[in-house]
A and B are shown apart, each in its own frame.
Chain A
Amino acid sequence: MKIERKPLTLWERLYLPAIISGMMLTFSHLFRKKVTLRYPEEKPEMPPGYRGQPVLVKDDEGRVKCVACQLCEFVCPPRAIRIKPMAYPENAKYKKVEKTPEEFEIDMIRCIFCGYCEEVCPERAIFLRGPYSVTGLSRKDMVFNKEKLLELGGTLPDPIKKWRKK
């Protein structure tokens, strides 16, 4: 491609006017609003759908959506997930769901945030969302248990109420 280069006028070739106008521009930037967040005090708002770390969610009735099918445990490439299933007690409200995780641990050091668990989950119970800073002071700290995962995940209402009719 041929780019036409206009010869500079004398005014432009003096350079000084251009430099001075540039300096005025940078000067005006001194007083503009800054875009920096002071991180630990100010946290960025993540947009909905942000793909963060894997967390467990509850439905709008407060039920843990995971049914302990262990598919995610099976698919997880680095084997970051450990699930210990248990049967619902005899008189429980969701007896017909049959199974629920007693323990659900994700080792955030092993997790590679691939999202396979979210993809494979038949119950839409595990999602990569929300939290973006995964920190801990020891290896043990980095193994997130069920309570912690649920707390991070919160509720995610699902339009399909699969277990209501059964």
Chain B
Amino acid sequence: MDPILIHLIKIVGVVGVLLFICAYIVLAERRICAFIQDRLGPNRVGIPLWIRKDGSAIQIGARWALGQPIIDALKAIFKEDFVPGHVNKFYFWLGPMLVMAPALMVWAAIPFGSTLCGVPMIIADVNVGILLVFALASLGVYGIVLGGWASNSKYPFLGGIRGSAQLISYELCLGLSVIPLFMQVGSLRLTEVVRWQTEHLWLVCYPWNWLPAIIYVASSFAETNRAPFDLPEAEQELAGGYNTEYSSMKFAMFFLAEYANMITASALMVVLFLGGWHLPFVPVSGGIAVGVAHICIFLAKVCALALVFIWVRWTVPRVRYDQLMGLGWKVFLPLALAGVLITGLAIVAGWSPS
């Protein structure tokens, strides 16, 4: 087959699956937060199969609200798209796009499976994989800052400022916390990282990687603006934060981007620490069945981690702004550096295989 066609199929597939998971992770979040608070959450809208004459519908999965994402999307589309008079129109429009695009673009460099029919299951296997991913992921902050600034009102503005400060601080810890991994693997290529983990243990199994793993997890909470670090959109203080002035589909873009970012962060975590598509006792290479199984394993791990993100959000209260900054600069940064040092010692001592 034409390689361009193969790439197109992969791109469409990845974006499609990603958006699908996004839509349903929103539903999962609403259900799980309800359950954690002893409520039921959405439990009415199923996927309609047939509308009867009297207007009632035959639907499946109504108890689990499987149709809720469809309804939510329709609602977002048909709502009035109100643009306040005092905004800077161009940047106001640009904000949501800039926030959504990087979240999708990052997936170009994430290996989501081994090979299927001889085709590697990654869109672009670049040799600077993780650098590309971080570079793209940090572009997302421009959307937030632009959205906050262009709204031309104080709460979104504060949200945007917080967002930028937070992302810059935690970008550092994020970057430093993965350095130990690449010291062990010896390559920045993400497929290489996964291959290393299939040959040895998963990176999270080595004790000297625990500290980086914890820092990585916490920093990616901050990177994706999720609780306990959801300061840019702190509803109680900022009336919604950077997206206060947005409505309709533009708001939905911000909203979806948050979840897309969350899934991207969990995918990266899976690739870097949890062995990517590898699972013990599943053959590393084989026919179509194995290739599909690898993709499923990867998606399952990503979804499981995304659920952990949700779980944490509804457990831990939001930190204060100074606590956030203190944690980032005074605790995580030195600890991440210490992690690099410890891993270096482990490699010198010959404990780390490679």
B316 touches A (CB below 8 Å): yes
Q: How far apart are the CA atoms of A63 and B38 in the complex, in Å?
A: 47
Q: Is the CB of A26 within 8 A of B36?
A: yes
CB-CB contacts of B11-40 with A at 8 A, as 1s and 0s? 000000000000000000000101111111
Other A-B contacts than A19-B315, A26-B315, 16 sampled, CB-CB below 8 A, are A23-B311, A23-B312, A26-B36, A26-B311, A26-B314, A29-B35, A29-B36, A29-B37, A29-B38, A30-B35, A33-B38, A34-B35, A35-B38, A36-B34, A36-B38, A36-B40
**Chain A proximity of B229: nearest CB distance (Å):** 13
CB closest residue in chain A, given B32: A30
B124 touches A (CB below 8 Å): no
A32 touches B (CB below 8 Å): yes
A residues 13-28 in Cβ contact with B at 8 Å: 16, 19, 22-23, 25-27
The A/B interface has a contact count, at CB < 8 Å, of 36
Q: Is the CB of B38 within 8 A of A34?
A: yes
Tell me which residues across on chain B come within 8 A of A23, comparing CB atoms: 311-312, 315
**Given A22-B316, A23-B315: A30 touches B40 (CB 8 Å cut-off):** no
**Given A19-B315, A23-B315: A30 touches B39 (CB 8 Å cut-off):** no
Tell me which residues across on chain B come within 8 A of A38, comparing CB atoms: 40, 43
Tell me which residues across on chain B come within 8 A of A36, comparing CB atoms: 34, 38-40
Tell me which residues across on chain A come within 8 A of B214, comparing CB atoms: 16
Tell me which residues across on chain B come within 8 A of A19, comparing CB atoms: 312, 315-316
Tell me which residues across on chain A come within 8 A of B312, comparing CB atoms: 19, 23
Tell me which residues across on chain B come within 8 A of A33, comparing CB atoms: 38
CB closest residue in chain B, given A33: B38
Q: List 26 A-B contacts (CB under 8 A).
A: A19-B312, A19-B315, A19-B316, A22-B316, A23-B311, A23-B315, A25-B315, A26-B311, A26-B315, A27-B311, A29-B35, A29-B36, A29-B37, A29-B38, A30-B32, A30-B35, A32-B38, A33-B38, A34-B38, A34-B39, A34-B40, A35-B38, A35-B39, A36-B34, A36-B38, A38-B40
Task: Enumerate chain A interface residues (CB-CB to B < 8 A).
Answer: 16, 19, 22-23, 25-27, 29-30, 32-36, 38
Question: What secondary structure prevails in chain A residues at the interface with B?
Answer: helix
Task: Enumerate chain B interface residues (CB-CB to A < 8 A).
Answer: 32, 34-40, 43, 214, 311-312, 314-316
Tell me which residues across on chain B come within 8 A of A35, comparing CB atoms: 38-39
Closest 10 pairs between A and B when the two form their complex, measured CB to CB: A36-B40, A26-B315, A26-B36, A30-B35, A22-B315, A23-B315, A36-B39, A29-B36, A35-B38, A34-B40
Q: How far apart are the CA atoms of A30 and B38 in the complex, in Å?
A: 7
Tell me which residues across on chain A come within 8 A of B316, comparing CB atoms: 19, 22
Tell me which residues across on chain B come within 8 A of A16, comparing CB atoms: 214
